[in-house]
């Protein structure tokens, strides 16, 4: 089995690569960068290529993967607001190139990493896949647009896809940057004995999901969920204040907090209904926020 992971040197992508190497698959990585920590598994094949470059289509055709996991994207919400065209080039055009490559090389399926951000500021306690989408950032808009291209490519050309809308993913190897990486940001500041910064009042909530559960959902989507969109989440809501309290309990030390103004484009509340994934993907998260956070700290903390 030949696997291609776009963004395979990134946080989630690198976990996915290691999983499939463990399953003895032939794994190819398509990434613009050589990796922030320079670690590329020796048994994986690395291709340095920008997915926004039309030449990426020919590269994927040459690789001819059985399955393509499309994770490469510009994912910084604030950067997307400052430079909307960057999202359009990387996220929308990059996705079109990958879809075109799948059409031409008859890939069995493309599994697309989307985001809970496509729902925007819905005034609803728990959000399901049938709820309306209304992005409030260019990043989320680029993901929603990419989803629509997936749907159209299946309708017109028969390209098989599964869309996975992630909650807030965290785990070992995540870089401490951006609101989406708040767990990594908190952990990095703790290691430097710095204050924890909370943007806004800290009452904003997220559905945090551990990266290994994201990997297992991607693996499940290979054989199930064709033409479907799934929320991949725990179905549990955690506020940023509650997250800080969990850090205090696990670390066993008082942690000072400092509050800063909120960021434009940030969603106030997000909790995803995962029952469709449980039923149709036969997938279930193995970690809750506490067990995932404990494992993240254990595998990241340096004394």
Residue 252 backbone class (left: φ over 0; alpha: ψ -120 to 50; beta: rest): left
**Strand spans (E) along the chain:** 2-6, 26-31, 45-48, 67-70, 109-115, 161-166, 168-170, 196-199, 205-206, 208-210, 228-232, 238-239, 257-260
| Catalytic residue of the set 67, 139, 166, 170 | 139
Distance, CA of 125 to CA of 112 (rounded, Å):
25
CB 16 within 8 A of CB 218: yes
Distance, CA of 20 to CA of 35 (rounded, Å):
18
CB 28 within 8 A of CB 63: yes
Question: Is 280 exposed, middle or buried, given 0-12, 13-18 or 19+ CB atoms closer than 10 A?
Answer: middle
Element spanning 18, H or E: helix 11-22
Q: Which two tokens stand for residue 154?
A: 């299946």
207, 208, 212, 214: CA torsion to nearest 10:
40
User: For the packed helices 138-157 and 94-105, what is the interaxial angle rounded to 10 degrees?
Assistant: 20
Pairing of strands 205-206, 238-239: antiparallel
3-class DSSP assignment, residue 163? strand
Known catalytic residue at 170: no
Pairing of strands 67-70, 2-6: parallel
Q: Catalytic amino acids?
A: 139
């Amino acid at each position: 089995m030949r696997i291609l992971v776009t963004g395979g040197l990134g946080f989630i992508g690198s976990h996915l690569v290691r999983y499939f190497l463990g399953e003895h698959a032939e794994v190819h990585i398509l990434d613009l960068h050589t990796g922030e920590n320079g670690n590329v598994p020796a048994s994986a094949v690395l291709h340095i290529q920008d997915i926004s470059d039309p030449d990426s289509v020919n590269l994927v055709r040459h690789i001819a993967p059985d399955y393509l996991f499309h994770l490469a994207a510009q994912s910084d919400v604030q950067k997307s607001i400052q430079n909307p065209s960057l999202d359009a080039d990387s996220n929308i055009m990059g996705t079109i190139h990958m879809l075109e490559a799948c059409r031409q090389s008859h890939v069995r399926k493309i599994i697309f990493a989307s985001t809970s951000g496509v729902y925007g500021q819905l005034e609803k306690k728990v959000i399901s896949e049938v709820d309306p989408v209304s992005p409030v950032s260019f990043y989320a808009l680029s993901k929603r647009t990419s989803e629509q291209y997936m749907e159209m490519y299946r309708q017109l050309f028969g390209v098989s896809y599964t869309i996975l809308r992630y909650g807030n993913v965290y785990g070992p190897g995540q870089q401490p940057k951006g609101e989406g990486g708040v767990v990594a940001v908190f952990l990095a500041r703790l290691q430097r004995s710095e204050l924890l910064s909370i943007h806004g009042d800290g009452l904003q909530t997220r559905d945090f999901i551990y990266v290994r559960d994201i990997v297992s959902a991607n693996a499940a989507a290979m054989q199930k969920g064709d033409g479907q969109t799934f929320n991949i989440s725990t179905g549990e809501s955690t506020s940023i204040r509650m997250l800080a309290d969990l850090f205090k309990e696990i670390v066993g030390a008082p942690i000072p907090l400092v509050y800063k103004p909120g960021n434009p484009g940030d969603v106030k509340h997000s909790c995803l209904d995962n029952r469709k994934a449980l039923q149709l993907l036969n997938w279930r998260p193995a970690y809750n926020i506490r067990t995932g956070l404990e494992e993240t700290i254990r595998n990241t903390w340096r004394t």
